[in-house]
Amino acid sequence: MALQSLGHAEGCDSGFGNATAKKLDTMGFTVLATVLDLNSPGALELRACCSSRLKLLQMDLTKPADISRVLEFTKVHTASTGLWGLVNNAGQNIFVADAELCPVATFRTCMEVNFFGALEMTKGLLPLLRRSSGRIVTVSSPAGDMPFPCLAAYGTSKAALALLMGNFSCELLPWGVKVSIIQPACFKTESVKDVHQWEERKQQLLATLPQELLQAYGEDYIEHLNGQFLHSLSQALPDLSPVVDAITDALLAAQPRRRYYPGHGLGLIYFIHYYLPEGLRQRFLQSFFISPYVPRALQAGQPGLTSARDIAQDQGPRPDPSPTAQ
């Protein structure tokens, strides 16, 4: 890959996208980096520390006009050099709650950003990538491979994204375009570190939850879920370089992997998911990520006590691995 070739990376305001854009720039590549806000701290940092080769583009993946503008800019800007790679990195997780507690709009928003945004960008840039026999690299999540508790909206969108990229991987083989998926463990990105953000979203969920659901599950149930989630985030890996290195390898290696799993602990999680019985898989995920808590309607003195006892007996003893992935 010549140093003059270009790469397009989404979601560079912070986290993996920001770190990858900086690394590719230091390697001499021209990077078109999209950010949600051109005046965000991450965007200002890229403008200050990177070379003039890096171009910052504002884009909101929920706005078709933004996507069209970025696609047109990319086509014009790469007319003479070609486009080598696309990195789909933008992602959004809104609420930490059971699927029943999450508004349907939450599922739609996650799909809009995590799935349809990546779909539109990939389809829009495929003519350029086919011409260069280039690369498509997509950051997904283990939550798209297995049912992590309370991440149904996020995980569903990531599952759809991973399947889509699997289809592209097969279909683009005759064109020489290689497709890779990055499935990282839980790393300490800006969204992970922003505890205030998760507290605000918890309060928003409590304020908008239908009264019947709030009565059935109880405020304590939602408080427990968020407390466990924040504890798991506190164990996140601080060094983002394994993910950045995986993205870079997927872009530049002669024979990139179809899937990368950067971060500690993922091997054990995937082994349990693929090889142990379903009951043990579910119990491990609960213990690893968010421990069980009986909803209010199933607690002692409430209708459904028998079901609560059954749940407690079915859960069995709780192992205590360190929660490092989401």
Question: Phi/psi of residue 101, each to 5°?
Answer: -85, -20
Answer for the pair 291, 318: CB distance below 8 angstroms, yes or no. Answer: yes
The DSSP output letter for 318 is P
Angle 266-275/278-288 helices, nearest 10 degrees?
A: 150
Answer for the pair 198, 230: CB distance below 8 angstroms, yes or no. Answer: yes
The length of the chain in residues reads: 326
Answer for the pair 110, 31: CB distance below 8 angstroms, yes or no. Answer: no
Residue 74: closest CA among 61, 84, 64: 84
Question: Phi/psi of residue 155, each to 5°?
Answer: -65, -40
Task: Respond yes or no: is residue 154 known to be catalytic.
Answer: yes
CA atoms of 151 and 94, how far apart (whole Å): 9
Within the chain, strands assigned E span: 6-9, 30-35, 55-58, 83-88, 135-139, 178-182, 259-260
Which residues are designated catalytic?
Answer: 154
